[in-house]
Amino acid sequence: MGILNVTPDSFSDGGIFFSCADAVAQGKKLVKNGADILDIGGESTRPFSAEVSAEEEVKRVIPVIEKLAEQIAIPISIDTTKASVARRAIEAGASMINDVAALRLDPEMVDVAAEYGVPVVLMHMLDTPKTMQISPTYDDLIGEIKAFLEKAIDGIEKKGILRSRIIIDPGIGFGKTVEHNLLLIKHLKEFNSLGTPILIGPSRKAFIRQILKDEGVKDINPDLQEVEIGTQAAVAAAILNGAHIVRVHNVANTRATVMITDHIKNVQNSDNIS
């Protein structure tokens, strides 16, 4: 899943693809580089970010979706928590909803997803982007996130959304410490029992930057080469532990990582291997 942020303030590439022309060009580049899904968002969900209005979000993403839907053959996902934005995006050519709030913030979001019969991504997040990184704590990290996602799945199934159209995302970086994120990747197989594909989004996230930065440095630039290398390490680990979809900024690098990791994961033992 290639990331296309049509925002001025995303933590990585914020403002770079804010114009419609630049966003369309980047979307086509991500497809050319091997993306299977294009995820387009018009509101930053970085830690401590503020909400934007539905009208502003529509203004940012709909022209981009309309143009790309005419030019690319892969599914377009709308990254939003707002039902009105999701509806407009689907009408413009999107065919999937990626909601960081697991369809909880807008009571009409479930109805939109059910009406159009599109796949939905349910992500775990503590509170909101503005508050999620203020001392996140868990008594049972995996158990609590798994229970949250199970409840979210059950809730939307009761409203007519088939489990076969549901994808879950444990929410790397959304109300988690560095250790929480590492444990989620390490124990990703625990979510297999939910019976849905697992999406993971480690790309350029703060936990990677915190591990790689020098002591005494508050943060490092998300666009540094070492952060990209760290992303690919996290992607490989996630795939080996059960991820089905990886959401990333650099599709070309990730495609190579996915191909090699999949081959390692799926290779069959020969007769002379005990």
> Which residue numbers are catalytic?
205, 247
If DSSP states are collapsed to H, E and C, what string results for 101-131? CCCCCCCCHHHHHHHHCCCEEEECCCCCCCC
Residues sharing a CB contact under 8 Å with residue 81, sequence separation 6 or more, in sequence order: 43, 99, 100, 101, 105, 106, 109
- CA distances to 87, 94, 104, 163, 184 from 108, rounded to whole Å, are 10, 18, 9, 19, 30
- Contact partners, residue 232, CB within 8 Å, separation at least 6: 253, 254, 257
- Alpha carbon separation from 158 to 115, 147, 176 (Å, rounded): 14, 17, 29
